[in-house]
Amino acid sequence: MSKDSVQDGLVVSMEYKLIVDGELLDSSDGAGPLQFLVGYGNVIAGLEKEMMGMKIGDSKDVVVQPEDGYGEFDDDAFMDVPRTEFPADMELEEGMELHVTDEDGEHQAAYVAKFDDKTVQLDFNHPLAGAELHFSVKVVALRDPTEEELDHGHVHEEGHHH
């Protein structure tokens, strides 16, 4: 297998921009290229699939539909929680992100959809659920992962803790 194109089990460094509804939401400018281990679900499926076979220096524009991105918007993914379950001194605002623990002890991100004195409505949809994602990507480097990275299934960047 030649190591000069994107394939499962290699670490890709890519520069990218993410545009949704004509608005630049995220890019690697400033932070430097994003590194990810191919084939381990480190980036959204639709993007990874489209990048297979790209070589160093290749650029590509990729449009990812919601089902291959952050999922469709789920109208049932809302939950009403009594205001009393939140700390009294906590200032709530619409759109703020909260981390809640479900019955299984799993942490989930939720967003405050709306609230009043009695009830807080939480939205468990990802902020980009239902969105068509426009990526502009460029492959800047490819390498073999370290054994530790393979064990863990994701890239270890210095000073970057998950």
pLDDT tens, 78-90? 999 999 999 989 9
CB 55 within 8 A of CB 5: yes
Order across the sheet with 119-123: list the strands.
Answer: 78-82, 119-123, 107-115, 97-101
Rounded distance between C-alpha atoms, residue 70 and residue 125, angstroms: 9
Question: Looking at 21-57, which runs of residues are DSSP E strands?
Answer: 23-27, 34-37
How far, in Å, CA of 74 to CA of 123, rounded?
Answer: 9
In the DSSP assignment, the letter for residue 87 is: -
Per residue in 48-88, pLDDT (tens digit) is 999 999 999 999 999 999 999 999 999 999 999 999 999 98
The pLDDT score that the predictor gives to residue 106 is 85
Per-10-residue mean pLDDT of the chain, 162 residues long, equals 85 97 94 94 94 97 96 95 92 92 86 96 94 98 95 77 44
pLDDT on residue 1:
52
pLDDT at 160: 47
Q: Which pLDDT value is given to residue 2?
A: 63
**Predicted pLDDT at 101:** 83
DSSP 8-state class, residue 5? B
pTM of the model: 0.79
Residues 6 or more apart whose Cβ sits within 8 Å of residue 39: 7, 8, 9, 48
Task: State the pLDDT at residue 105.
Answer: 87
Structure tokens at 86: 């939140």
Mean model confidence pLDDT for the chain:
92
